[in-house]
Amino acid sequence: MNSHLAPPLWRQLQATAHVILSIRRGQSGTAALDAVAAPLRAGVQSLSFAVLRTLGRAQALRQLLAPKSPPAAADALLCTALALLCPSEDAPYDDFTLVNQAIEAAKKTPAIKPQAAFINACLRRFLRERSTLMAHTEHDVAARWNHPAWWIERLQKDWPDHWQALLAANNRQGPLTLRVNPRKVSRDAYLTQLQSAGIAAIPVGQFGVELSGSVVVQSLPGFSQGWVSVQDAAAQCAAPLLLSGLSQRGGLRVLDACAAPGGKTAHLLELADVSVLALDVDANRVARIHQNLERLQLAAQTQVGDAADVQSWWNGVPFDAILLDAPCSASGIVRRHPDIRWLRRPTDIAQLAATQSKLLKALWTVLAPGGRLLYCTCSVFKEEGEWQIQAFLASHSTAKWLPTPGHMMPGAVTPNRLFMDAPLGDHDGFFYALLEKEAA
């Protein structure tokens, strides 16, 4: 290995601190990482995820070390270093290397250089008093669970018996799960392919394969030929749920209402010969649907449009089935996107729930009598799941809630399993409600 090609740690810490600063200013983690120079990106993503999973503790420690907040850029670097210094079984660097390189990053960042001595003093003090300072932060709920206090309170109300396990699951990394395309290869045959390639995996759900470690997706057997797609095991439930009871009909017209990037659209087409309209409000994201379907050698009609503004895109012919993967807080996929908990605000949930309600009501009008609508969110908050559907049923007498999983908890937290025949493994958090429209 040419070690001289590896970027120095101080540069990675500098870039990681900038990612944290960007997230604090409201930018998504994905966008912030996309802006990182390519040679640094993989290392910075790994460090950023580690920091975001420990940021609550780091912020509490910084408050103890320096009650008066330093300038934003300096605070981001200080909290980055403190997060990485918190005791961990898989700490990437030894303490003194990390501190020295953090100071180097401060000195070489013009906006932070004036605070380099201050950051040095804080970090050296932390090393001297670590056990005492860590003990102090145990009394801070956001530090202990590494989530905002409002988020923790909401989970305590929604899931009084499961909130701790939910938070713990959010702080673990989720597995890499694939969906096998049955039009190309059987799951058993694909598991054999993985074994031959030296990749350990287990079957999950009806179509899934959970890998025991991380790999470069493009290097997987048959990936470029469309044999598999990356999709969490819980998300893989959408297509079979919607098609259940409908798949025997010929010429089904299906709407995927918030379709980008197209994973669920593709799964529908892999499982049945249906006509799919994939709709999304964002033109750039619609382009991604095309790219994903092209790799899988599948075809759907795509359209840019706001699903809630039916008259702007609907041709007047009702749909037999509708998939509404509604915009939500993404509180069920925090372990894959650890920035989400720090980006969301308490007021976001009610606003998102209002959007979900608007979409449900609008799309119900384009569903054929006897047709089915599958409402799903990658959320564990009841306001975006169970309560949303209960409110919809109260005002729509033609809707019947069919047996569906309801809230599915991330990791091993599984209070609800209504229909699963095959174990789903270590999946993300989701909510599903399958609604049937009364026949005319």
d(CA 176, CA 428): 11
Tokens coding 221: 């057997």
Q: How far apart are the first and last CA of the chain?
A: 69
Query: In the chain, how many H helices and how many E strands?
Result: 17, 11
CA 164, CA 168: separation in Å to the nearest integer?
Answer: 6
For helices 55-65 and 72-85, the axis angle rounded to 10 degrees is 110
User: In angstroms, rounded to a whole number, what is the distance separating the alpha carbons of residues 440 and 432?
Assistant: 25
In angstroms, rounded to a whole number, what is the distance separating the alpha carbons of residues 183 and 270?
A: 6
Dist CA 262 CA 28 (whole Å): 20
Measured in whole angstroms, how far is the alpha carbon of residue 205 from the centre of its chain?
19
Question: Can you tell me the distance from the alpha carbon of 274 to that of 271, in angstroms, rounded to the nearest whole number?
Answer: 9
- Cβ(222)–Cβ(190) below 8 Å: yes
Alpha-carbon distance of 106 to 115, in angstroms, equals: 7
Query: Which H helix or E strand runs over 372?
Result: strand 367-377
Residue with tokens 């650890």: 338
| Closest listed residue to residue 80, CA positions, set 119, 42, 27 | 119
* CA atoms of 36 and 331, how far apart (whole Å): 25
Catalytic residue list contains 378: yes
CA–CA gap between residue 98 and residue 388 (Å, rounded):
47
Question: How many other CB atoms are there within 10 angstroms of residue 213's CB atom?
Answer: 9
DSSP letter, residue 162 = T
Task: Name the residue among 97, 77, 104 with its Cα closest to residue 18.
Answer: 77
For 346, list phi and psi in degrees, rounded to 5.
-55, -35
Sheet with strand 228-230: strands edge to edge: 201-204, 208-211, 177-180, 228-230
Q: DSSP label at 427?
A: B
Catalytic pick from 79, 86, 237, 378? Answer: 378
* Residues in Cβ contact with 62 at an 8 Å cutoff, skipping those fewer than 6 apart: 75, 78, 79, 82, 122
Contact (Cβ atoms closer than 8 angstroms) between residue 74 and residue 112: yes
Cite the active site residues.
378
